[in-house]
Each structure stands twice: as C-alpha cells, then as structure tokens.
Structure 1
C-alpha cells in the first residue's frame, strides 16, 4: 500500500469526482504494469492505494515518485512531501501524516524576505498544496526546512508570465470553468500541483488578478495569484 501525499478534502459530488480523477491519474501512471489497484481514503483525507500483481513493487515506486508518499515515521535529514495545512507570521505547518504537523519556521523557507504569511501571498500558495521539505532533528535542534528543489520551483513561478493557483478543484474542473467563463485564450495550460490543487499558467498578455476577478465567482475555492 502507498499513501499518497495529496489530500482529498472535498465532500459530496465533488468528492466522487475527485476520486474518479484520482483513479484516472493512478491508472495513467501504472495502467501498463501487471497490477490491480484499489483506492481508499484515510481518516486524515490522504488517499491510499493498495496494489497487487507481479509489478506491484514497480507500481508503488512510480506512485511515490509522482505524488510523494506519507510514511509512518520521518527520519531527520530525509526529504518528504507534506501539504500546506496552516501558516502564521512565524512559519508554515505541513501535514505529513504525523498528527500535529511539521513546522517550518519562516527563516527555513528560503523564499526571500517577509513573514510566512507574506511569502504565502507572494508565491500564491493555496491551502493543501503539496510541498517538499527536509525533516529536522527529532530534538528540534535543527528545524525542518523547505527542500532546495521546492525553493527552486517556487522561484521559477515568479520568473514566468504569471499564475493563478486554485484549490478544491480537479484539473478538469478548472479547465472547464475557464473555458465556460470565456477564458480559453487566457491561459497556456493548467498544471496539476496536487489532486485538488492546480496552477493556471497565464500568457504574457493575461493579468492574473484580472483572471481571478473574472472566474472567482465560478470556483468555490481559494485562489491566489503569482505576479512576476
């Protein structure tokens, strides 16, 4: 079994659509392997994938690479994926399946000046977005920090033409909303950040705040802009 580091936190019909989307994503990743799989959702909203078959080990490794994995125990110095649970002036708290969460102090985010709240706004980080981090020492003498690769990815966001980040919706739902609202020409693609967290990549002549104002009423979600 692999517990994927992406959350399924919506309810009702939206939850069923999200589960269908996850089945398709998992199928796309491991469908060519000799395996059968079944998806469940844990009490903490992390989905689990039970895999059986001759290629089960390979399939588990493919899903770990694609989504990140929630593991029972964290080892100091190792890199994991957690979802952005909360934030305050002093840092981020990531949910990595450890109950109270993993706290990353502002100084360990490595994303420039400002409080953690200001950094979240600058990089358009919506709640529940998966983020890679390096776990600190058990005795807290060395705090957890955002992984170098994650810092690089987020810095790249601010060097592009702008983004609109969204949670609580699948990639297909975001694309359909943009097209239905008349914005088919106002985005390059929708990048999947997590199962229910997406990043709308804008072309040079699209203003992310303007796009947010236009489609916000159609998406019952948190929306955050990245403006270069």
Structure 2
C-alpha cells in the first residue's frame, strides 16, 4: 500500500469524479506493470493505492516518485511532501501524516508575512509542498530548496491562476466554458485536486480568475509576474 501525498477532500459527485481521475492517473503510471491495484481514501483524506502483483515494488516506487508519499517515519535532513493546510503570522502548517509547522523564517520566499507570501505566490490550501524534515529538538523544518525554486519560477514566467477542489479535467473544461481556452498555455497538475493554469504572456491573470470564478466553487489565487 502507498499513501500518496495528495488529498481527496471534496464530497458527493465531486468525490466520485476525483476518485475516477485518481484511478486514471495511477493507471497511466503503472499500466505496463504486472500489478492489480485499487484506490481509496484514508480517514485523514490522503489518497491510498493498494497494489498486488509481481511488479508491486516497482509500481510503489513509481507512484512515490510521481505523487510523493506520506510515511509514518521521518529522518532528519531528508525531504518529504506535505499538503498546505493552514498559514498564519507564525508560518505554514503542512500535513504529512502528522502536523509539520514551518516557521516564517524557514520559508525562504522573500520578505513579507506568511499571509503575504501565500498571496504573492498564489498558494492554495491542500497543494503539495516539499519540505526538509528536521529533528524538532534541534532545529526547525524548512521548505526544500527545490520547492523554493519552483515557486520563484512561477513569479518569473507567464502569469498563473491556481485552483483547488477541482481535477485537471474539470479546470480545463471550466476554462473552455468561460471562453478562455485560447488565453492559456496549459493546466499543470499540482495535486489531484490542485491545479495551476499557465496563462499566455498577453493574458491578465486577475481577469481570467474573474471569468472562471463563478464556475468553480474553489479557492483561487493569481500569480502575477
């Protein structure tokens, strides 16, 4: 069994669509391997894939690489993935199977309060973030260098609109329905239900947000270069 570092927190029909999307994503990654698999959700909303077959070890490793894994054990200095659950003046709170607090001084994302950083980088709740675990008695956890680089890259390229509570397919369909298919480059998957719409250079991210906001019952933020 692999506990993926992505959550299924929507309900009703949206939950079924999310699980269908997860089955498709998992299938795309391991369909050529000799395994059978089922997907599910833990009580803490993390997605779970149960795998059996001759290639089950390889399949687990493939999914760990693609989604990140929630593990019960941590080693100081190693890198893990958690989902962004909350933020306040003190820093970020990630869920990595246990609460991981990253103080403001260890975010490494420039000046400003954590709330201002969330707005500047267009972060949305539940999006996966990579962090370096530290022995709590010795020093604080911090965002991984690769994560900092990724977020800084967002502010240097074309604008973005980040969304939660929707699959990649749902976001693409919403952009099309709003008549803005030609205004974007692609929709990048951040997590199962967290997406990043990459705008064309001439597209105004706040304008795109306003256009799709009525269609998506979601948290939506812009990244403006």
Shorter-chain TM range is over 0.9
Q: Distance in 2 between matches of 1:19 and 1:186?
A: 29
Q: Distance in 1 between matches of 2:142 and 2:96?
A: 13
The equivalent of 1:195 in structure 2 is: 192
Note if 1:160 corresponds to 2:157: yes
Secondary structure in structure 1 of the residue aligned to 2:210: helix
Give the Å deviation of 1:138: 3.2
Q: Which protein has the bigger strand share?
A: 2
Task: Show structure 1 runs of 4+ deviating over 3 A.
Answer: none
Q: How does 1:24-35 map to 2 (within 5 A)?
A: 24-35=24-35
Secondary structure in structure 2 of the residue aligned to 1:201: strand
* TM-score, normalization by structure 1: 0.98
Q: Write the deviation string for residues 122-170 of structure 1: whole angstroms up to 9, x where unpaired.
A: 000000000000011131x310000000000000000111000000000
The equivalent of 2:72 in structure 1 is: 72
The equivalent of 2:108 in structure 1 is: 110
Q: Write the deviation string for residues 148-197 of structure 1: whole angstroms up to 9, x where unpaired.
A: 00000000000111000000000000000000110111100000000000
Q: RMSD across aligned C-alpha pairs, in angstroms?
A: 0.6
Pick which of 80-89 and 69-78 moved more. 69-78
Where structure 2 has 5 or more consecutive residues not aligned to the other structure, the ranges are none
Note if 1:148 corresponds to 2:145: yes
Count residues with an aligned counterpart. Answer: 225
Q: Distance in 2 between matches of 1:172 and 1:40?
A: 20
Q: Distance in 2 between matches of 1:136 and 1:219?
A: 38
The equivalent of 2:126 in structure 1 is: 128
Q: Distance in 2 between matches of 1:115 and 1:180?
A: 36
Secondary structure in structure 1 of the residue aligned to 2:182: coil
Q: Distance in 2 between matches of 1:148 and 1:38?
A: 34
